[in-house]
A = this chain, B = another copy of it.
Amino acid sequence: MPAMDLRLESPLDMHLHLREGEMLTLVAPYSAAQMAGGVIMPNLVAPVDSLARVREYRAAIEAACDPHVFTPYMTLFFRDYIREELVAAKDEIIGVKLYPAGITTQSEAGVRDFDRIGATVALLEELDIPLLVHGETAGFVMDREEEFLAVYRWLAETFPRLRIVMEHITTAAAVEFLEKYDTIAATVTLHHLLITLDDVAGGLLRPDLFCKPIAKTPRDRKALRQAVFAGPPRLMFGSDSAPHPRDRKECVGCAAGIFSAPVALPALAGLFEEAGCLERLDGFVSANARRFYRLTPPAKTVRLEEKDWQVPEFFGSVRPFLAGSRLRWSVAAASLAEE
């Protein structure tokens, strides 16, 4: 049997951490090698919470990878904004990202009181700017996402025209919830399709698999997989690729985040192939996001080929997801150029 080829039109990573400085320079090319663009998270050490900061960060990203090859879709860090700020920023951002305070890496500036966010959220609805949400409460770590569904419900019912993205959903409950509101979409990571808490802490402890939201139960993973493989229109791929240097992972007080950008499309292709639905991969990694966000990304065809490779143990100081394992699919070299 001849080896298969797989062509993806303008694949997009709808949830991506590119960091700053040397880390940005190190990791951005791995996203650019696979994706036509990505939604860039704004939780830098100093949050990206003004148009000036958006421009500054975009320039840094464009210096790290050619914007003709990879489009950074910028986000603003949620705070109280006035109308003029959002009007001015609207054409330069894809959405506003809300973090509950202290819930994940560099989220200390996030929301402490959800009773006080209404004015800004109403502006987002009026201006048709999507609201992207890290949806976890401060409750017990395994229950945080499910508990937060009440906030999503309130948002969807109070702001019925607001487009909302439940970021990196991990639970059967979130999958079920998603079906209830046409205005809500969700991103799903690669790693939450692959691992459960058993992989993180069931044998030896694996800081390289530690992320927020934490990986859940086998039942949750099954529900996520079933949903993604069924191909509903409002589930989008967002890697949540979140690199940390080794010394922030293999220590007491290990940072949350999995660096999956270098393996994203090859691992997804393997997963969809095993599930017998390779034809649905395009919807998950591109078409669904284009429709929900009304995006027209630059034309970029990424070609995957059936050619196995071993994931390196490290990219610079960062251990990638699936380090050391063999993947059946590779990104063909030709994919890097625009076609």
Contacts and interface: CB of A to CB of B under 8 A. Distances in A.
A140 B208 CA distance: 20
A256 B218 CA distance: 22
A218 B256 CA distance: 22
A17 B255 CA distance: 30
A205 B250 CA distance: 10
A196 B251 contact: no
Question: DSSP majority for the A interface?
Answer: loop
A250 B253 CA distance: 9
A204 interface: yes
A197 interface: yes
Interface residues of A, number: 27
Contacts of A319: 252
Contact of A141 (B197, B206, B250, B252): B197
A210 interface: yes
Please list the 3 inter-chain residue pairs (A to B) with the smallest Cβ-Cβ separation, ordered nearest first.
A205-B254, A141-B202, A204-B253
Interface of A: 140-142, 196-198, 200-202, 204-208, 210, 214, 217-218, 249-256, 319
18 contacts: A140-B198, A140-B217, A141-B198, A141-B202, A201-B201, A201-B210, A201-B214, A204-B253, A204-B254, A205-B207, A205-B210, A205-B256, A206-B252, A206-B253, A206-B254, A207-B254, A249-B252, A250-B250
